Amino acid sequence: MEDMLFYDRMQFAFTITFHYLFPQLTMGLSLIIVYFKWKFLRTRIDHYNDAAKFWMRIFALNFAMGVVTGIPMEFQFGTNWAKFSELTGGIIGQTLAMEGMFSFFLESSFLGLFLFGEKLLGHKLHFVTGFLVFLGSWASGFLIIATHSWMQHPVGYEILSNGKFVLNNFSALFTNPWLLPSYLHNQLASLVTASFVMASIGAFYILNDKHSSFGKLFVKTGVIFGLISSVLVAFPTGDWAAKNVVEHQPVTFAAMEGLFETQDGGSEIVLIGQPNVVDKKLDNKIAVPNVLSFLTYQKWDAEIRGLNEFEPENYPTNIPGLYYAYHIMVGLGTLFIGIMALGAFQLWRKKLYSTKWILWSLLFFLPFPYIANTTGWYTAELGRQPWLVYNLMRTSEGISPTVSSGNTLFTLLGFIGLYLLLGMLFLILVGKIINKGPVTAEA
């Protein structure tokens, strides 16, 4: 049973990690594309329109990869997690079906019109199609996170005598206190990814003296959007999401912060440290006294409960993994604010495009928003363990009892090989789009 659970979790973790590399860019990028189209309609400068069409090609490639890698996750609900689907399908099926029927079809239908229908539709209707693609992608994120939020903080349900969960309050799914902070935090994090990708490619063009005019537009746009979104990811949305964890999952918050013992007179915030689960302490820690209490409750001496106040069977099952995922996310988020603030300062001084060390920094930072988004999701998922539905269904209760660990391992290895090929193909195709650059109206 333990092997089955381990391989089921590993397979889902691998497939969803690889899948989310693509939606996190498309959701953020769709907003910037709408901005470029809006700027074109306002100014009638073709540069903005050409930029929108260039980035929509990259959007379309990411969207296609997201679809291909998303389908296996849907099947895993029936193959690896059949018991979970059987018992909770009456609730999570609502939002997942809405995501497929409404958001996905809205996004995919108008993506085709945006890519190929500009001459037929005219510029104003072409803008509308771009806006509807943006609306579909963000609505898709909302419905997926509504599903996730119910698993983190179940609301509006009742449990029948046969153990099945049924929905008795549909509106509760969308007024869940977990939903709004998680959704805003996630969408702004996707905008951070899109901003860094745009700024990185712009920096690449400037440093190589290739498509330099577009490079300057991409760097400027990426830095402005990146600074705004990086700050908003930290505050208020990140702060709001963390306070939600404190209120509804206090044992998770203690593990995230490495609080093995409740501290008298206020809790310190740990900058560096290694969790020692055996001895129930942080090794080699560097901490600032009382700051965690102030950030959490705005009181320097506020008490935050440590792991010692909870039953060990309810501890997150991977405390070191949770601790490191959370601190990597927070640490990278802080660096994002710093690099984008420096970029914005140089942009204000009109020296950004000639400051090579910032351009190289933007280019170097390209993969790190992906890492931050991934560790952010790991924080949420590892923090919920050992529960599939928090405090109601343990993860071990949701797996498919008839699927052997050998079958799951075999298909996991197949996914790894297939996704490696897909990833290489994606990089080749997106590399060709970047190398060719935007197609100008004159061309």
pLDDT at 147: 95
**Domain total for the chain?**
1
**Which domain does 291 fall in, by range?**
188-402
> Considering the domain boundaries, does residue 428 fall inside one?
no
pLDDT at 1: 57
> Considering the domain boundaries, does residue 412 fall inside one?
no
3-state DSSP call for residue 354?
A: helix
Number of Cβ within a 10 Å radius of residue 105: 12
pLDDT at 428: 97
> Considering the domain boundaries, does residue 130 fall inside one?
no
Mean pLDDT by 10-residue block, N- to C-terminus, for the chain (443 residues)? 85 95 96 97 95 96 93 87 94 90 86 90 94 95 96 96 93 96 97 98 96 96 98 96 96 95 89 92 92 91 93 95 97 97 97 96 97 97 96 94 90 94 96 92 51
> Considering the domain boundaries, does residue 20 fall inside one?
no
> Considering the domain boundaries, does residue 381 fall inside one?
yes
Cα–Cα distance measured from residue 75 to residue 71, given in angstroms and rounded to the nearest whole number: 7
> Considering the domain boundaries, does residue 299 fall inside one?
yes
Cα–Cα distance measured from residue 225 to residue 33, given in angstroms and rounded to the nearest whole number: 12
Cα–Cα distance measured from residue 32 to residue 225, given in angstroms and rounded to the nearest whole number: 8
Q: Give Rg (Cα) of the chain.
A: 23
386 preceded by cis ω (within 30°)? yes
3-state DSSP call for residue 166?
A: strand
pLDDT at 369: 98
Residues 6 or more apart whose CB falls under 8 angstroms from that of 287 comprise 268, 269, 270, 271, 273
Cα–Cα distance measured from residue 120 to residue 162, given in angstroms and rounded to the nearest whole number: 56
- Sort 236 into a burial class: Cβ within 10 Å, 0-12 / 13-18 / 19+: middle
* Bridge partners (DSSP) listed for residue 167: 157
Q: At what angle do helices 212-232 and 319-348 cross, to 10 degrees?
A: 130
pLDDT at 81: 94
pLDDT at 443: 44
> Considering the domain boundaries, does residue 278 fall inside one?
yes
Q: 382-416 burial, b if ≥16 CB within 10 A, otherwise e?
A: bbbbebbbbeebebebbbbeebeeeebbebbeebe
Cα–Cα distance measured from residue 327 to residue 333, given in angstroms and rounded to the nearest whole number: 10
> Considering the domain boundaries, does residue 36 fall inside one?
no
pLDDT at 439: 81
Amino acid letter, residue 73: M
Amino acid letter, residue 45: I
How far from 112 is each of 68, 314, 366, 375, CA to CA, in Å?
A: 17, 48, 28, 33
pLDDT at 424: 97
DSSP 367: T
